[in-house]
Homo-oligomer: A and B are copies of this chain.
Amino acid sequence: MKVYDYKGFPNPARVRIALAEKGLFDKVEFIHVDLPAGEHRKPEFLAKNPSGAVPVLELNDGTLISESSAITEYLDQASGNPDLTGTTPKDRAIIAMMQRKIEAGLMDAVGAYFHHATEGLGPDIETDQNPTWGKRQRNVAVKTMGWMNTVLADRDYLAGDNFSVADITAMAGFAFADFAKIDIPADLTHLLNWRTRVSARPSAQAAA
């Protein structure tokens, strides 16, 4: 398998953490896509992912899978333990729900702030900024952190008692928030404790 990505970037981190959790990190070939140079907007890359985004997973038969949630689920389903996406329909639904809320409310919100209300990837790439939208999405991200803190008041992980893709998406989202200088408010102690806990996992180093 090949993974087209950019080490240290937010959505690539989701796949790298999942690979590490599943013991697959050394079984894939990473192919660097030069985002600051705009490589993701050139025809060769758009043929792999018309959305023009990393990561993309290429299976050995040439099938191309983009969208991080689809890639991490594939990696989970196609290999053994530990389970990251749930085993019963109900557990799977709770994990999928939490993963999607964190993707929209944290990861994508931080991304909108970064690309629209800061210098982002620089003027050659950020050609259509909307600072008002970006600042509004910063508020969404901080509000999402407050909700996550409430969720973590009575559970160890975001979707329940077990580590899941919801936690992976959050780990990558908070690394992005650090980079965009959006701090976790100091009174969100459940969330801060969760972050200490997941940051100690070996997989956290894989994406750094």
A residues with a Cβ closer than 8 A to B are 50-51, 57, 59, 63, 65-67, 69-71, 73-74, 77-78, 89-90, 92-94, 96-97, 100-101, 104-105, 128, 130, 132-133, 136, 147
Tell me which residues across on chain B come within 8 A of A97, comparing CB atoms. 65-67, 70
**Complex-state Cα separation, A57 to B90, whole angstroms:** 11
Q: How would you classify the secondary structure of chain A's contact residues: helix, strand, loop or mixed?
A: helix
Contact assessment for B105 and A93 in the assembled complex, using a CB-CB cutoff below 8 Å: no
Q: How many copies does the complex hold?
A: 2
Tell me which residues across on chain B come within 8 A of A78, comparing CB atoms. 89-90
User: Closest residue of chain B to A73, judged by CB?
Assistant: B96
Contact assessment for A90 and B69 in the assembled complex, using a CB-CB cutoff below 8 Å: no
**Complex-state Cα separation, A64 to B84, whole angstroms:** 20
Tell me which residues across on chain B come within 8 A of A63, comparing CB atoms. 90, 94
Contact assessment for A67 and B96 in the assembled complex, using a CB-CB cutoff below 8 Å: yes
Contact assessment for A74 and B100 in the assembled complex, using a CB-CB cutoff below 8 Å: no
Pick from B96, B130, B133: contact of A69, CB under 8 Å: B96
Contact assessment for A74 and B93 in the assembled complex, using a CB-CB cutoff below 8 Å: yes
User: Closest residue of chain B to A146, judged by CB?
Assistant: B50
Tell me which residues across on chain B come within 8 A of A147, comparing CB atoms. 50
Tell me which residues across on chain B come within 8 A of A73, comparing CB atoms. 92-93, 96
Known: A130-B130, A133-B133. A65 touches B50 (CB 8 A): no
**Complex-state Cα separation, A90 to B130, whole angstroms:** 37
